[in-house]
Amino acid sequence: MYQDEKIQQKRKHNLILEGRKILNVTGVVDVSGFNDERVVLTTDMGELTVSGEHLHINKFSQETGELNLDGEICALIYTDQKKDEGGFFSKIFK
């Protein structure tokens, strides 16, 4: 299992958006949630939220990390998934 995790971390993360209608993404680890207006992906580069209308996942392979979706794509938003390092006082009292 450890070797599989290493392979996933070495995958390249790319986005190819064709005419705001078709999106191909590589480096996808998991699909966290989806409906026809929003798709939330966990990628090697953080969480990616795709917003739009009539969104439909055509293909997703967790083994290869490839995802293909179509619809009217309005926004692509990344959110870093870094753990909270604590507040001001936790930094002072290290």
Q: Round to whole Å and give the CA distance between 73 and 80.
A: 21
Please give the model's pTM, rounded to 2 decimal places. Answer: 0.75
Which amino acid, residue 63? E
Going by pLDDT thresholds of 50, 70 and 90, the confidence category of residue 1 is very low
Percent above pLDDT 90 for the chain:
69
CB 36 within 8 A of CB 28: no
Tens-digit pLDDT profile for residues 62-73:
999 999 999 999
Percent above pLDDT 70 for the chain:
74
For residue 32, pLDDT over 70 is answered with: yes
- Mean pLDDT across 31-41: 96
